[in-house]
């Protein structure tokens, strides 16, 4: 029926505003930028492409199928601190293994 009316099988023109941020061109640009630098922030990409940060997040999540992970910082231990921790863990393990003073050990957060 569509072919008889329009002479083609393409979609009919739709009403409403056309997509401007989630175009295939912008998806490709964001994909390449992520491939080039995995640590690049979405906010910086949004600013440089002059589109909303929410659009960049939706492109990354829905179109490119990636998810973000937050970098966590850890405590830096010196070799002296590592040795002390190992000694204390061994003494605690021996106290628990022997059963002496096992009732006096309190663990807390």
Model confidence, pTM: 0.51
Task: List the beta strands (DSSP E) in 21-103.
Answer: none
> Does the pLDDT value for residue 93 go beyond 80?
yes
User: In this predicted model, what pLDDT tens digit does every residue of 53-78 receive, in sequence order?
Assistant: 999 999 999 999 988 777 788 889 99
If one compares 25 and 72, the residue with the highest pLDDT of the two is 25
How far apart (Å, rounded) are the C-alpha atoms in residues 80 and 34?
A: 40
Of 81, 63, 78, nearest to 24 (Cα)? 63
């Amino acid at each position: 029926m569509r072919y008889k009316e329009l002479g083609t099988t393409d979609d009919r023109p739709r009403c409403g505003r056309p997509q401007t941020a989630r175009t295939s061109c912008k998806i490709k640009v964001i994909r390449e930028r992520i491939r080039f630098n995995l640590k690049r922030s979405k906010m910086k990409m949004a600013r440089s492409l002059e589109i909303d940060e929410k659009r960049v997040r939706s492109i990354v999540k829905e179109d490119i199928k990636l998810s973000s992970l937050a970098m966590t910082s850890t405590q830096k231990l010196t070799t002296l601190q590592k040795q002390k921790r190992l000694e204390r863990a061994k003494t605690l393990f021996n106290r628990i293994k022997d059963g002496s003073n096992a009732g006096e050990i309190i663990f807390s957060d």
